């Protein structure tokens, strides 16, 4: 049972050993036989709400299956689907099978019976819900309990950010259309993915009519092409970008205007993007054997290869480019390098955009470059979580040699240990505290500023670790008499710990 945070692939970081133990309140949510757990479609036995405050699992009871939400079992069914929550975690839904029919269960209230139901979508504020359903050969979208028009097929519905609007694609009689708030739009041969802008006021989708493909934004049809890529909105919704192909060349279309002077043979998948403020856009493009990054219509390059164009929070552009055998990190107007190789992850920027970090490869080792300065070499470096504190002042990462790990905080290495679980180290939102999930022999403990909490046999895999006031909350388990005891843990952040050094009380005493 995959209930502990996996060390394989080492998605976690170690920390200095703790000198004390923090007090904690443990809320028992359930006692279960792990053989009765029903994994999700992704293979995980436990599912967590978006805010990390709630946990659910599916459990066999005799011939039936129940959904257990925060330790409370729901009604018995023949089978249940994976659950979903509203963004704030207050509402909870899942699909359930009963007498060969399917129902949606929302807040433990059983909905109407259908032959098939989709996953439930909630509006961002949790007030509204919608899902797709089939009865016989007829598909409909059910929004807030009201059935929409009949179709031969429908896509799962999506809500606008403000929750006022809901849209989906429907197909009927060899034609497709977008349905917005229950009203059918223009009919097309095909309709691609339907997207609202981030702030929710605009709607876009792709269409095909005959051999022509167009982007439709706010019901305004763009020029025809042979192919188009995904339609992207800027964060404020004011600008729209997509890639388009015609006459043997790709180009980018911004707010309906085509970059006619910048056609290319290929555009790097996933590279078109807007800066966070929406003022700039960038993408990577190939012309013959040369690659360029195009920033607001201006070419940067050429390079032999380009990886990971990305904007900082303040709109500074960063990417990796290769000249000859050397890789360079390009940050704004400056190049750092050459390096024999660079890590698989993009450049990481601090929250205020003033700092940057990335991994470089040489002689079978990895090194971290922070603001242009190289760290000592090691076998591997953890880069799957933000390494900068929320105030951008502090830096933390994990360095591993063989099976030994150590956390490096502000350039200071902690004690080597055998491993720590994924998702840590984790700074508190104010940057004053640092949490590290540390493996002990046997079991796991969460350390905050070097002070360890209670010992558990495992931490639920993918369990979010949350700072809430003066405590840290997470989900854990212990094994007892062949059963697993599931806990919600409220671990106190002990005053007097040493958050500034990040090295913990033992490190402080050694100095």
Nearest 5 degrees, angle CA 179-CA 134-CA 93? Answer: 85
Mean pLDDT of the chain: 90
Q: Where are the alpha helices (DSSP H) in 31-146?
A: none
Instruction: Write the DSSP string, 4-49.
Output: SPPTTTT-B---PPPSSB--EEEEEEEEE-GGGEE--TTS-SEEE-
Q: Residue 231 and residue 204: Cα distance in Å, rounded? A: 7
The span from the CA of 152 to the CA of 131, in Å, is 16
CA distance 220 to 211: 19
Distances (CA, A) of 69 to 53, 99, 197, 448: 11, 23, 33, 28
Q: How far apart are CA 412 and CA 410, in angstroms?
A: 6
Cβ atoms 343, 329 nearer than 8 A: no
Among 81, 188, 186, 59, which residue's Cα sits nearest to residue 132? 81
Torsion of CA 447, 450, 455, 459, to 10 degrees: 20
Q: Tokens at residue 297, please?
A: 């219509």
Give the Cα separation of 309 and 330 in Å (integer).
9
Per-residue pLDDT of the chain (511 residues; tens, 9 = 90+): 444 443 222 233 333 333 468 899 999 999 999 899 998 877 789 999 999 999 999 999 999 999 999 999 999 999 999 999 999 999 999 999 999 999 999 999 999 999 999 999 999 999 999 999 999 999 999 999 999 999 999 999 999 999 999 999 999 999 999 999 999 999 999 999 899 999 999 999 999 999 999 999 999 999 999 999 999 999 999 999 999 999 999 999 999 999 878 889 999 999 999 999 999 999 999 999 999 999 999 999 999 999 999 999 999 999 999 999 999 999 999 999 999 999 889 999 999 999 999 999 999 999 999 999 999 999 989 877 778 999 999 999 888 888 888 889 998 988 887 776 788 889 999 999 999 988 887 889 999 998 999 999 998 878 889 999 999 999 999 999 989 999 999 999 987 554 444 333 333 333 2
207-213 CB contacts, 8 Å cutoff, 24+ apart: 207/176
Distance between CA atoms of residues 108 and 245, nearest Å? 49
Candidates 428, 410, 405, 484; CA nearest to 17 is 405
For tokens 């956390």, name the residue: 407
């Amino acid at each position: 049972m995959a209930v502990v945070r996996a060390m394989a692939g080492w998605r976690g970081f170690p920390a200095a050993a703790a000198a004390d133990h923090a007090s904690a309140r443990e809320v028992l949510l359930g006692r279960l036989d792990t053989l009765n757990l029903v994994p999700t479609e992704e293979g995980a036995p436990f599912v967590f709400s978006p805010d990390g405050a709630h946990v659910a699992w599916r459990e066999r009871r005799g011939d039936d299956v129940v959904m257990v939400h925060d330790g409370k079992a729901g009604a018995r069914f023949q089978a249940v689907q994976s659950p979903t929550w509203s963004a704030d975690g207050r509402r909870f839904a899942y699909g359930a099978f009963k007498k060969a029919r399917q129902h949606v269960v929302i807040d433990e209230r059983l909905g109407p019976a259908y032959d098939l139901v989709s996953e439930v979508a909630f509006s961002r504020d949790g007030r509204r819900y919608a899902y797709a359903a089939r009865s016989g050969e007829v598909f409909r979208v059910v929004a807030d309990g009201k059935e929409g028009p009949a179709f031969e097929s429908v896509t799962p519905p999506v809500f606008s950010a403000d929750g006022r609007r809901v849209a989906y694609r429907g197909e009927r009689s060899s034609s497709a259309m977008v349905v917005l708030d229950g009203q059918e739009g223009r009919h097309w041969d095909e309709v691609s993915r339907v997207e609202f802008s981030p702030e929710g006021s605009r709607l876009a989708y792709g269409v095909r009519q005959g051999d022509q493909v167009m982007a439709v934004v706010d019901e305004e049809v763009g020029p025809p092409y042979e192919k188009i890529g995904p339609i992207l909105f800027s964060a404020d919704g004011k600008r729209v970008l997509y890639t388009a192909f015609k006459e043997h060349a790709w180009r980018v279309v911004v707010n309906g205007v085509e970059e006619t002077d910048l056609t290319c043979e290929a555009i790097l998948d996933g590279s078109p993007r807007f800066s966070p403020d929406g003022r700039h856009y960038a993408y990577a493009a190939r012309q013959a054997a040369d690659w360029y990054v195009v920033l607001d219509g201006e070419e940067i390059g050429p390079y032999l290869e380009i990886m990971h164009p990305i904007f900082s929070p303040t709109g500074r552009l960063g990417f990796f480019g290769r000249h000859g055998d050397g890789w360079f990190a390009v940050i704004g107007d400056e190049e750092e390098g050459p390096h024999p190789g660079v890590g698989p992850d993009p450049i990481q920027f601090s929250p205020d955009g003033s700092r940057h970090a990335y991994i470089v490869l040489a002689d079978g080792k990895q090194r971290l470059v922070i603001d242009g300065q190289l760290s000592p070499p090691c076998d591997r470096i953890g880069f799957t979580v933000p390494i900068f504190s929320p105030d951008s002042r502090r830096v933390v990462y994990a360095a591993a040699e063989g099976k030994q790990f150590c956390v490096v905080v502000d350039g200071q290495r902690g004690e080597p240990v055998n491993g720590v679980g994924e998702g840590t180290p984790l700074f508190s939102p104010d940057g004053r505290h640092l949490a590290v999930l540390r493996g002990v022999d046997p079991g796991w403990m969460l350390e905050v500023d070097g002070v360890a909490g209670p010992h558990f046999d495992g931490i639920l895999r993918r369990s979010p670790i949350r700072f809430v006031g003066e405590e840290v909350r997470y989900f854990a388990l212990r094994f007892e008499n062949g059963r697993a005891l599931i806990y919600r843990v409220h671990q106190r952040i002990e005053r007097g710990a040493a958050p500034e050094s990040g090295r913990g009380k033992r490190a402080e005493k050694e100095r």
